[in-house]
Structure 1
Amino acid sequence: MTVFLTADHHFGHSGIIGNAGRPFADVDEMDEVLIRNWNERIRPDSVVYYLGDFAHRCPPQRLRSIWERLTRPKAIHLVPGNHDDAATLALPWTSVERGILRMSANNRRFSLFHYALRTWPGIRRDAIHAYGHSHNRMPGFRNTLDVGVDAWGFVPASVEEVIRRAELLPEFDFGETDDEAEDDAPGAPGVRAP
C-alpha cells in the first residue's frame, strides 16, 4: 500500500492555467493530463490524503464525470481548501477533516492542512507539515513543504517522495513553539494511520 499526499488539481478551472503558470492550452487538456497522471500513480490499495482545492468553477456534471474517471483508492481523505464547494464536499470521500489532519506513515508524523502554517502539531517532534494552496510559490523547508500538483510535476506525491524531498531541503527555525503538552502519537485522538 502506498500513501499519497496531493492538492490543488483545480479540475474545471480555466483561470488556474494562467494564474499558476500551468503549461496547458486549455482546461480540457489540463483536466485530461491530471486525470491520466492520477490514474498512472494511484492504485486500488493506495491511500490518498487530498489537501484541498480538488475543483473550482467546475459544473457538477463535469465534476462527477472527472471523479468517476479517477482510479478509486482504498481510502481518500479530504482536508478542504478554499475552493472546495458543496458539490466537491458531496463527493464520496472516505472522510472530510475540516482542521489539521494528523497522521503517521512510513515511520514519520505528518500534520496536513490546506494552508501553509508557521507552526503545527508535532513540530518539535519532527512532524512534517504538508500543505497546498500556494501553487509552488513558497519555498519548502525540511519540515514543511507544498504537496500540491504544481510542486510535483502535476502528479500526486507518495509519502516516500515527500520525505526524500524534505530531507534535501534546508532547515528553517520557526522559533519557540508550545506543543509540549500535545500527544501526537499514533492512535491519539485526531491522529490517523493509513
Structure 2
Amino acid sequence: MRYVTSDTHFFHEGLLGMSDFAPRPFSTVAEMNQVIIDHWNQRVQSTDTVYHLGDIALYFTKPAVKSNEAVFELLSRLNGNLVLIKGNHDSRDLFKYLAKHNFQVNGKPKFEFHDVGVLIKFDHRQYYMTHYPMMLGIAPQIINLHGHIHHYSVSAKENINVGVDTPEAGYLNYKIPFGTPFSLDDIEMMVQQKAIDFAKRH
C-alpha cells in the first residue's frame, strides 16, 4: 500500500496550541510526536510506502547533530519505507544525516530523497507530489498533492492539501485521526468531493 502525508513538524514547539494556521492541541512536543507515531503505525504496515511531502521536523540543538539524531530515531520508529520530498524547513544537513545512516527495510532503503517532487500513477490518474502547491493549468488527469499551507486550501480543484493539518480531510465521510497518512483511496475521495464542491460553487 502507498500513503501520503506532509508537514508533520515533529519537535516544533511553536505550533503547540490552537491557531488558524495549524491547530495542534497538545501540551508538549513529546505528546504531539507520540500521537503522530501511534496513528501512523496503526495504519501503515512495515511493507508499505509513505510519501512525506516535506517539513518533517523543526528542531534546533547545539550541537546540531543532536537534532538530526533525534529526528532519525523518531523516523526509524515509523512503519514503512519513507519517500522524503524536501520542504522549506528540511535542511540538507538532515537529509545528509539520514542518507548516511540509512538502513534496509523490505530490501529497500528506509529513506529515499527528492528535492522537488515525485509523479506516481494510480487508477487512471497521475499524482504530482510536491511540498509547495503547484498551479498546473489545464491537465485533467493530473492532481497536485502538496503540503506547506497547513490548515488552508488552494482554491483549485486540482490541488489537494495532504498535510496533517489539512481542512480537506473534511471531504472524507469518515474521520482520519491526526497524523495518520492518507491512503490513495482517501485521496481519490478528496479529489472527487472537492470537484463536486467546486461545481456547486462555480
TM superposition score category, shorter chain reference: 0.7 to 0.9
TM-score (norm 2): 0.75
Structure 1 alignment gaps of length 5 or more: 173-194
Structure whose residues are more often helix by fraction: 2
The one of 56, 73, 76 aligned to 1:65: 73
Matched letter for residue 5 of structure 1: V
Partner of 1:154: 179
Deviation at 1:136, TM superposition (A): 2.1
4+ residue segments displaced more than 6 Å: none
Quote the offset at 1:168 in angstroms.
Answer: 0.5
Shift of 1:139: 4.3
Percent sequence identity over aligned pairs: 28
Deviations along 1:75-132, one digit per CA (max 9) or x if unpaired, are: 3211100011134313235422212321112332111110112226xx5242111000
- Tell me how far 1:20 sits from its aligned partner: 1.5
**Corresponding position: 1:28 with 2:30:** yes
Q: Determine if contact 2:133/2:154 at 8 Å carries over to the other structure.
A: no
Match of 1:97 among 103, 106, 114: 114
1:54 counterpart (53, 56, 61): 56
* Counterparts of 1:129 and 1:17, CA distance in 2: 28
Deviation at 1:155, TM superposition (A): 1.3
- 1:45, distance to aligned residue in structure 2 (A): 2.0
Q: Give the structure-1-normalised TM-score.
A: 0.77
Q: Distance in 2 between matches of 1:106 and 1:141?
A: 21
Please point out which of 118, 124, 130 is paired with 1:107.
124
Deviation sequence 1:133-176 (CA, Å, 0-9, x none): 1112124643211001112532111111011111001348xxxx
Kindly indicate whether the alpha-carbon contact (under 8 Å) linking 1:8 and 1:148 is maintained by their aligned counterparts in 2.
yes
Specify the code of the residue in structure 2 equivalent to 1:150. D
Instruction: Measure the CA separation in 1 of the matches of 2:186 and 2:94.
Output: 27
Q: Which residue of 1 aligns with 2:172?
A: none
Aligned to 1:131: 146
User: How many residues get paired?
Assistant: 167
C-alpha separation between the residues in 2 aligned to 1:116 and 1:163?
A: 18
One-letter identity of the residue aligned with 1:104: K
Give the alignment's Cα RMSD to 1 decimal: 2.0
Aligned partners of 1:125, 1:137: CA distance in 2, in Å? 23
